[in-house]
A and B are shown apart, each in its own frame.
Chain A
Amino acid sequence: EDKVVQSPLSLVVHEGDTVTLNCSYEVTNFRSLLWYKQEKKAPTFLFMLTSSGIEKKSGRLSSILDKKELFSILNITATQTGDSAVYLCAVNAGGTSYGKLTFGQGTILTVHP
């Protein structure tokens, strides 16, 4: 059974801090790992990672994948209160899958002013 585990489960920081969120996985036929931000309702797409060691960056957010050690990290620098959300990691495992995602339980990030 495919498994995705995120840590920590929750994190409380102050504005300006840097945070690192972790995601480890055990899946058959890995295709890609995705990060989503979930505020009130729909998860919104942040990054898709397919290759090891290549950092993806968008503003203050960045992410990298290690396919040998089976994990990914999501970094947020200079955090703002608007970064408060649940961050979801999901893995797309291949085989006969038509893009089914297996999600982790999420990391709840709270940024205080």
Chain B
Amino acid sequence: EPEVTQTPSHQVTQMGQEVILRCVPISNHLYFYWYRQILGQKVEFLVSFYNNEISEKSEIFDDQFSVERPDGSNFTLKIRSTKLEDSAMYFCASAPVPNYGYTFGSGTRLTVV
């Protein structure tokens, strides 16, 4: 069964450093998403991406965050200057159409120290 692949599975970074989280969506999917889940809290929407541009973003997705699809297969989330409160599990997801039960990746656990 096709999978959404995320790397790395765990990243530890110092506060103020830039991090890039990588995702390879399912190949024929057109809609891409990032979510995050702070330990013990709800899964929260960050951003959706379609046709090479951001289609929607949440209040969490401020100027410190950016997304890119650099080469037609990878989908990346960059956090420019990490804060302690960015520590969370970050999930990438993709879907063939926006109102379909889309597939999540296994997540990257980001720990900011």
Contact = CB atoms under 8 A, between A and B. Distances in A.
B104 interface: yes
B42 A104 contact: yes
Contact of B44 (A43, A97, A99, A103): A103
Question: For the side of the interface on A, what is the size category?
Answer: 20 to 34
B98 interface: yes
Given A42-B91, A48-B100, A100 B106 contact: no
A99 B98 contact: yes
Contacts of A47: 101
B45 A100 contact: yes
Interface in B57-101: 58, 89, 91, 95, 97-101
Contact of B48 (A88, A99, A105): A99
Contact of A98 (B44, B56, B105): B56
A20 interface: no
Centre residue among A36, A44, A92, A98 by max chain B CB count within 10 A = A98
Interface of B: 4, 31, 33, 35, 41-45, 48, 50, 55-56, 58, 89, 91, 95, 97-107
